[in-house]
């Protein structure tokens, strides 16, 4: 089975902004062209998070959009989400594969070449690499890697590389030119006045660069 790894990942957030719920952000994001939604919530009731994930899964499925749950393998399993994204200190990817099975998507986070290599060895389906640029969206973000290291990760490792960290409409094209498969953003969509339009602008920027690569 060939898994479809999206190019425009929107991580929903209700901490940096409180106007919109996870579900509302997801709907605005896929209305703007996002092909992957990642539910990201670090705190709160597990029961409520499962309910939110199930609601998001239903709406994403109707829209033909992939739903990934950040960190929480239990929530991904309980909500029948399409996959899970795991950091270096989260649930081990090989064990997650044993639990989720071969068909679900498992993404791994990496901030260095060594961590990217570990994601490959562990059997991740894609690597979320970054922070590529400075970011205030993640408290646990490590040192900025920069475009050159991103390009090296793309060159070395045979998995789709999703660039994350400080990605915006100003630099999205640059990371695609560096060879990234796609981008993942939080504040560039969630914290904007019109998340749907912000997503649309990113989608269009990606399409322009990808069309150039295919010419």
CATH number for position 35: 3.20.20.70
Give the pLDDT mean for 45-62: 97
Residue 1 belongs to a domain? no
What's the number of CA atoms in the CB half-sphere (13 Å) around residue 91? 19
Q: How far apart are CA 206 and CA 68, in angstroms?
A: 20
pLDDT digits (tens, 9 = 90+) for 134-162: 987 656 656 899 999 999 999 999 999 99
Share of the chain above pLDDT 90, in %: 91
Structure token pair of residue 154: 């793309």
Q: What pLDDT, in 10s, does the model give residues 85-96?
A: 999 999 999 999
- Active site (annotated) includes residue 138: yes
Does 88 reside within a domain? yes
pLDDT over 80 (residue 202): yes
DSSP secondary structure of the chain = ------SEEEEE-SSS--SS-HHHHHHHHHHTT-SEEEE---SS-HHHHHHHHHHHHHHHHHHT-EEEEES-HHHHHHTT-SEEEE-TTSS-HHHHHHHH-SSSEEEEEESSHHHHHHHHHHT-SEEEE--SS--SS-TT--S---HHHHHHHHHH--S-EEEESS--TTTHHHHHHTT-SEEEESHHHHTSS-HHHHHHHHHHHHHHHHHHHH-
pLDDT attached to residue 203: 97
* Residue in 40, 57, 72, 104 annotated catalytic: 40
Indicate if the pLDDT at residue 1 is higher than 60.
no
Give the total number of structural domains in the chain: 1
* 96 falls within a domain: yes
Comparison of pLDDT for 213 and 171, the residue scoring more: 171
Residue of 109, 137, 145, 168 marked active site: 109
Cα dihedral 115→11→77→97 (10° resolution)? -20
118 included as an active-site residue: no
Residue 127 lies in a domain: yes
**Active-site residue, 212 included:** no
Could you tell me what percent of the chain has a pLDDT over 70? Answer: 96
Confirm whether 3 is domain-assigned: no
Tell me which residue range forms the domain holding 172. 8-214
Q: Is residue 2 part of a domain?
A: no
Asked if the model's pLDDT at residue 214 lies above 90, the reply is no
136 in a structural domain: yes
Among the listed residues 57, 72, 104, 138, the single catalytic one is 138
């Amino acid at each position: 089975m060939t898994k479809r790894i999206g190019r425009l990942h929107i991580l929903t957030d209700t901490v940096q902004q409180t106007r919109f719920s996870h579900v509302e952000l997801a709907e605005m994001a896929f209305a703007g062209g996002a092909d992957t939604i990642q539910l990201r919530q670090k705190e709160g009731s597990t029961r409520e998070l499962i309910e939110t994930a199930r609601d998001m899964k239903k709406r994403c499925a109707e829209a033909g959009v992939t739903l990934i749950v950040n960190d929480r393998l239990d929530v991904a399993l309980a909500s029948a989400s399409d996959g899970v994204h795991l950091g270096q200190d989260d649930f081990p990817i090989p064990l997650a594969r044993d639990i989720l099975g071969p068909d679900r998507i498992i993404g791994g986070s990496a901030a260095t070449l060594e961590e990217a290599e570990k994601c490959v060895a562990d059997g991740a389906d894609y690597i979320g690499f970054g922070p590529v640029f400075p970011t205030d969206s993640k408290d646990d973000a490590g040192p900025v890697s920069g475009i050159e290291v991103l390009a090296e990760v793309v060159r070395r490792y045979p998995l789709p590389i999703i660039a994350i960290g400080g990605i915006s409409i100003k630099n999205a094209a640059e990371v695609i030119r560096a060879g990234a498969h796609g981008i993942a953003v939080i504040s560039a969509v969630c914290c904007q006045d019109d998340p749907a339009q912000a997503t649309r602008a990113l989608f269009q920027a990606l399409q322009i660069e990808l069309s150039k690569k295919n010419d």
